[in-house]
Structure 1
Amino acid sequence: MVSVSPETWFKNAVVYAVDVEAFNDSDGDGVGDFQGLTQKLDYLDRLGVSALWLLPFYPTPNRDNGYDVSDYYGVDPRLGTLGDFVEFMDEAEARGIRVIIDLVVNHTSDQHPWFKAAQEDPDSKYRDYYVWVDERPPPDPERATVFPGEVEDERVWTYDEEADAYYYHRFYPFQPDLNLANPDVRAEIYRIMKFWLELGVAGFRVDAATLMIQPKHPDAEQLDDPHEVLRSLKRHAVARRSDAVLLAEADDAPGELESYFGDGAEMDLLMNFVLNAHLVAALATERAAPLAEGLERLPPADVGQWMNFLRNYDELNIGRLPKDLQDEVFERFAPDTDMRIYGRGIRRRLAPMLDGDERRVKLAFSLLFSMPGTPMLLYGDEIGMGEDLSLPGRTSVRTPMQWTDEENAGFSTASEDDLVLPVVSGGRFGHEEVNVAAQRADAESLLNWMERLIATRRESREIGEGSFSVIDVDHPCAFAHRYDFNGNAVVCVHNLSDGKCSLEFDLDLVQGDALYPLLGNADHTRHDDGSCEITLDDYGYIWLRLHRTGAGASRRSASESGQQSRPEGPRAQSESR
């Protein structure tokens, strides 16, 4: 058996993204809290996830879902106390569940004491914690707001009367950017990281990583080494915890992404926005080509890992797709303008996008979990929750978790008017129809299937650590790929269309090799010439394990002796038939 290094635990992890305030309310005030999350750790343990990613839970005016932080060393009183957080961490550790938290240090709230001090005294050291100018610079298309249509006149400089100066912000005006070129600011960030690492967190999701490495002052030139700020975060993280991971929100051009891994000295994981858009496009068009193109656009990830997802808390960003493909995705998954946001995104949950068709939902998650990288699941997607488009902006996909068909979906005993957000009620995706309790009792439910999927992925080290290749199949709606690792292989085949398809391709099988299914129920037949024939139903899928024995193992070992274990990261390589 090959041992697993603690420092690479994330390669075979399954991450569950959860918003504490929307998950479970323990005290009946209408807001989810850490005690409520602790109560649901057994549910998450049974689901099989190995790590949680928590949205910001710090004290905040809460004008941007907690991303406007006013104190980096505490817990928002609505969500509990620091003691509640410590108890939660102890209980998560007891179940072997790691916790990753958001590190929101590109900006603060305008209510943070640092900004208050910067406003009050131009000679205070805190003045240089932010970016100020006396005259508002002209608009710069390279430094536009990240929320087009939501920020007045699209500018990123706001006048502050108390300071008699303009301050810089790429997000909302109430989120002034920190001056990360200031060594004192970086020292503050290192102290924040040390504090939470010593409380047991396994790492950080670095919010707005792409903006952190860009020059902020209008007179500043491009830094000689813009990534040093991210590398310094890694150095300080591993100094406190050797297996700490950094997950970057790096929504950058594909050609720039490899630099975020920094030859192993920077980010461990990157949120895979490129593959996300192309995977959704493949589901929308029911063609494999967009998925293959998305994989081809990714640079190698030899020293890190991609974090793959279908949905997250924000909009589903398809802005990097070609315009004609964007139009196809919008037409299929967001035909009404109210379903769209920022001109680039979709503000819907996955299950409604797929018309509640469980075959398509399972196909989508099977594809996601079989992609090269670490899969991430948004809370509630394991039961097929829907969205509430009557809510503004991105809050449409942040409604409370649906535990039962009872009042408030079992999320809270508070009155409906006191809930942090309304629960989804009525219709195909209302909590009366879609909830954990009902699906737990149904052996064929999406929830119970997701448990099997998660277990299968965690058992399949080939996907997390093996060499990846695309298998050439003569069918536009089918996608097949394989991973080779330690002499064995996992082969995954998916049919993106609503019609059956039959495929035959060479797997280089020899007598004595074992081939058996891990997931899915497609018909498969092996032939004496080493090939395999697979027949997939509508939206069908299958994962197969190829176990080398005897002559096959010997030949494979000899062929691999001069190869790297992961030669091209996620780059697609074709295998001829």
Structure 2
Amino acid sequence: MKEMEPWWKRSVVYQIYPRSFMDSNGDGVGDLQGIISKMDYLKKLGIGIIWLSPVYDSPNDDNGYDIRDYQTIMQEFGTMQDFEQLIEEAKQRDIRIVMDLVVNHTSDEHAWFVESRSSKDSNYRDYYIWRDGKGAQPPNNWGSIFSGPAWEKDELTDSYYLHLFSKKQPDLNWEHGPLRNNIFDMMTFWLEKGIGGFRMDVINFISKDEKLPDGEIHHEQGYGDGSTYFMNGPKIHTYLREMNEKVLSRYDVLTVGEMPGASTEDARIYTNPENQEVNMIFTFEHMNLDSGPNEKWDVRPLELVALKRNLEKWQHALHEVGWNSLYWNNHDQPRVVSRFGEDGAFREVSAKMLAICLHMLQGTPYIYQGEELGMTNVKFDSLSEYRDIETLNMYKEKRQQGIAHETIMSSIYAKGRDNARTPMQWTSNGGFTTGTPWIRMNTNTSFINAEQAIADPSSIFYTYQRLIQLRKIHAIITHGSFQLLLPDHPDLFVYKRQTAEEEWLIVNNFSEKTNQLVWKECNLPQTKGNIMIANYDSPKLEGDMVEVRPYESFVIAFERGK
């Protein structure tokens, strides 16, 4: 008997960054009651899953990814009662809540770390990664992902702790069995409340090479790149399988691992259901294609050929083995319409094109709040208006290296994480809060907002709604094979999805110019096709040629063998 298809294969996930989604009490910070007040909006969009960025108690050094207490809700966001109400309200609308699981590190204010640093003999000492220095130097040369060294000297015990991110985010020691059991108990606590799964923050960092060797130095900071020794580390599969066995296998949930540096070969292992690790992973490869070789701030134009080749590689690698997650945006990435589309005259058509291009691939799509409205990047006048720790640290470091203010700001405008974190644009005057928002609103809310989008049947919102409906109805989107056409075309991203019965052609123009597509090059069935979705009116067929207009996108379905 054929096993039932997992529910998350035909669902679409909507990521909420709670701080910026909706504020119910006027303090300028989004909260759980704010989310509850917008559940009908999400129901209308048609999503089946909300991924909630961290809502746990936190000092907010890294916007909630530094957790002080895993089993308490952050005061700014509300109470546990509010959270339980959110699960219930979502359930009534057939929506599940997926939580962020941040277990590579905690806050340095977490009770475990407070105990751990109190003495070398503490029962919690081994919950974290402590080492003696080498003379006056740290244990190794690793640099932190948030700039500076990855080690912090703690005077009380005259030793160093590892922090791959902020110094207020000490890394947990997964070698230690009692720590793992505490984490598994915490996961069970939330699953028993009825959540629908976990998005696992940098989960492939949890296993480190115990020797902690020096990393290769290849940029001007002078720190070593330790990623070889902490990404996809020696015991990562052991830990994930233990997590599955002790916790996840007992619930019908979605699991997605955020895994920087994971290759398609790694992903085939992580996501193969037989291995019982995770359902899907977030890859970063397509998100690094508009950066130089050393860092994300080195901004380059996107080469469409490279993007097509990359997505093709992932589509083929996981087909009938594991499963892909599909995304353009999240809380760490700039707005895609400003990044890979055009956020001026072609904002609406390019936002729709990017949506169609992504949602027709095989995998589970993720929409980031405001993406369905075509929200754009922001340019704040002053550095003081930025809130993101990564951005502020980078600015300071680059100024010390003598790089001009204007040069750094242009990188921040293109790649800064605050691009995604400006408040959700509900109405023409904002609608996010009655108070002063924690981060400034984008000034274009007068013409980019949810109220206007819902009132306009041709808005970007309804393109997303239609894509979500198509995925629920048509099995070819879930199961069909992927075939890239015209791989070297600099402007057109054209591909097919195929099953024994059907063939769908997906055409996307990533440029401002009109391109010609020769019909017979697509090798299509000799039957009349049906247009499933398009971002202009019907495609312009000129004999055996199609005129593909600026940022045009359309999907045509054909029956095969007739």
Distance 2:503 2:542 in 1: 15
CA distance in 1, matches of 2:546, 2:13: 31
CA distance in 2, matches of 1:247, 1:70: 23
**514, 539, 544: which one aligns with 1:499:** 514
The amino acid of 1:294's aligned partner reads N
**SS state at 2:183 partner:** helix
Residue identity opposite 2:277 in structure 1 = E
Aligned partner of 2:256 in structure 1 is 247
- The match for 2:408 is none
Counterpart of 1:455 in structure 2 is: 469
**Matched letter for residue 459 of structure 1:** I
Q: Secondary structure at the match of 2:112?
A: helix
Q: C-alpha displacement at 1:80, in angstroms? A: 0.7
Indicate yes or no: 2:325 matched with 1:307.
yes
TM superposition shift of 1:526? 12
- Distance in 1 (CA, whole Å) between partners of 2:210 and 2:354 is 39
> Does the 8 Å contact 1:399/1:421 carry over to 2?
yes
Q: Does 1:40 align with 2:32?
A: no
| In structure 1, distance between residues paired with 2:327 and 2:185 | 31
Q: 1:514, 1:3 → 2: CA distance? A: 33
- The separation in 2 between residues aligned to 1:275 and 1:458, in whole angstroms, is 26
Residue segments in structure 1 that go unaligned for 5+ positions in a row: 149-153, 316-347, 553-577
Q: Retained in 2: the 8 A contact 1:363–1:539?
A: yes
**Deviation, structure 1 residue 66:** 0.1
Q: Distance in 2 between matches of 1:51 and 1:280?
A: 31
Is 1:144 aligned to residue 151 of structure 2?
no
487-496 or 132-141, which moves further after superposition?
Answer: 132-141
Q: Is the 8 A contact 1:234 1:265 kept in 2?
A: yes
Higher mean displacement: 201-210 or 299-308:
299-308
Identity of matched residues, %:
32
Q: CA deviation at 1:361?
A: 1.9
> 2-side partners of 1:402 and 1:476: how far apart?
34
8 Å Cα contact 2:495/2:507 also seen in 1: yes
1:441 aligns with 2:441: no
- The question of whether the paired residues in 2 share the 8 Å contact of 1:68 and 1:108 is answered with yes
Q: How does 1:64-83 map to 2 (within 5 A)?
A: 64-83=62-81
> What is the aligned partner in structure 1 of residue 296 from structure 2?
none
Of 338, 346, 356 in structure 2, the residue corresponding to residue 366 of structure 1 is: 356
Aligned pair partner of 2:485 in 439, 454, 471: 471
Cα 1:285–1:453 shift into 2, 3 Å: farther
Partner of 2:497: 483
Residue number in structure 2 paired with 1:231: 241
Partners of 1:485 and 1:435 in 2: how far apart?
39
Corresponding residue of 2:200: 206
- TM-score when scaled to structure 2? 0.80
Note the aligned Cα RMSD (angstroms). 2.9
Distance change in 2, residues 1:503/1:216 (3 Å) = farther
Native 8 Å contact 1:276 1:308 kept in 2: no
Correspondences of 1:133-532 after superposition (within 5 Å): 133-136=131-134, 140=140, 143-148=142-147, 154-215=148-209, 218=212, 225-241=235-251, 243-254=252-263, 255-261=265-271, 263-278=274-289, 288-298=304-314, 300-301=317-318, 302-315=320-333, 348-353=334-339, 354-356=342-344, 357=346, 358-390=348-380, 391-392=386-387, 393=391, 394-406=417-429, 409-414=430-435, 416=436, 419-425=437-443, 430-472=444-486, 475-485=489-499, 487-497=501-511, 498-505=513-520, 507=523, 509=525, 515-520=529-534, 521-523=537-539
Letter in 2 for 1:269: M
CA distance, structure 1, for counterparts of residue 288 and residue 490 of structure 2: 19
What are the superposed Cα offsets for residues 80-119 of structure 1, whole Å, 9 maximum, x if unpaired? 1111111100111111112211100000000000011112
1:227 is paired with a residue of what secondary structure? helix
SS of aligned partner of 2:372: coil
Give 1:188 shift. Answer: 0.9
Tell me by how many angstroms 1:516 deviates: 0.7
**Counterparts of 1:147 and 1:134 in 2: how far apart (Å)?**
22
Structure 1 residue 401 displacement after superposition:
0.9
Shift of 1:500: 3.3
Superposition deviation, residue 495 in structure 1: 2.2
Partner letter of residue 144 of structure 1? G
C-alpha change, 1:231 and 1:91, in structure 2 (3 Å) is same
Q: Please list every run of 5 or more consecutive structure 2 residues that lacks an aligned counterpart in the other structure.
A: 215-228, 293-299, 381-385, 392-416
Asked if the contact 1:483–1:490 (Cα under 8 Å) also holds between the matched residues in 2, the reply is yes
Query: 2:550 pairs with 538, 551, 554, which one?
Result: 538
Aligned-residue offset at 1:253: 4.7
Q: Which amino acid aligns with 1:483?
A: R
Deviation at 1:399, TM superposition (A): 1.3
